[in-house]
Structure 1
């Protein structure tokens, strides 16, 4: 069952993960939405991260969950970006992907059934 997550990137200049190999490269709402959507639909970001772990084979495979039907819509609001994510991926996995992409520079505003 899909869930809708309302996420804010309050300072898009700081919305970058600590490792540039995984961090957002986008500068606008559409770019952030596209990058997050790709990270949810494809295992590519997770696999790049997993391979760099000390024991890649011991990483919980559930963290690699994907949702080919995930959608992310972005809107620029003054100096911040609002993202609306609709996905069947568990919240813990979504948060892990957001930490890779944006570090701690994002806020979960609301969660509803889709």
Structure 2
């Protein structure tokens, strides 16, 4: 069952993870949405992160789940970026991808069932 997640990046310029090679590079609402959507639809970001771990084969494979139907819409309001994510992925997978992309520079505002 799909859910709709409402996320906020309070300051798009600081919405970067700890590892630059895994972080957002976006500069606007649409670009942030596109990068997150790609990270949810494909396992490329997860695999790059997994290979950086000391024991890649011991990483929980469920964190690499993907949703080819995931959609992300982005809007920018001054420095703030609002993202609406619709996906069947678990909240833990979404949060993991967001930590890679944005570090601690994001907020989960709400979760609802997707129609």
What's the CA shift string for 1:30-66, capped at 9, x where partnerless? 0000000000000000000001100000000000000
3-state DSSP class of the match of 2:5? Answer: strand
C-alpha RMSD of the superposition: 0.5
- TM-score if structure 1 supplies the norm length? 0.99
After TM superposition, the structure 1 = structure 2 runs for residues 16-27 of structure 1, keeping only pairs within 5 Å, are 16-27=16-27
TM-score (norm 2): 0.98
- Aligned counterpart, 1:104: 104
Q: Which residue of 2 aligns with 1:86?
A: 86
Partner of 1:69: 69
Unaligned runs of 5+ in 1: none
Structure 1 Cα separation of the partners of residues 76 and 83 of structure 2:
9
Q: Equivalent residue of 2:12, what SS?
A: coil
The secondary structure found in structure 2 opposite 1:13 is helix
What's 2:95 paired with? Answer: 95
User: What 5-or-longer segments of structure 2 have no aligned partner?
Assistant: none
Corresponding residue SS for 2:76: strand
* 2:50 alignment partner in structure 1: 50
- Secondary structure of residue in 2 paired with 1:68: coil
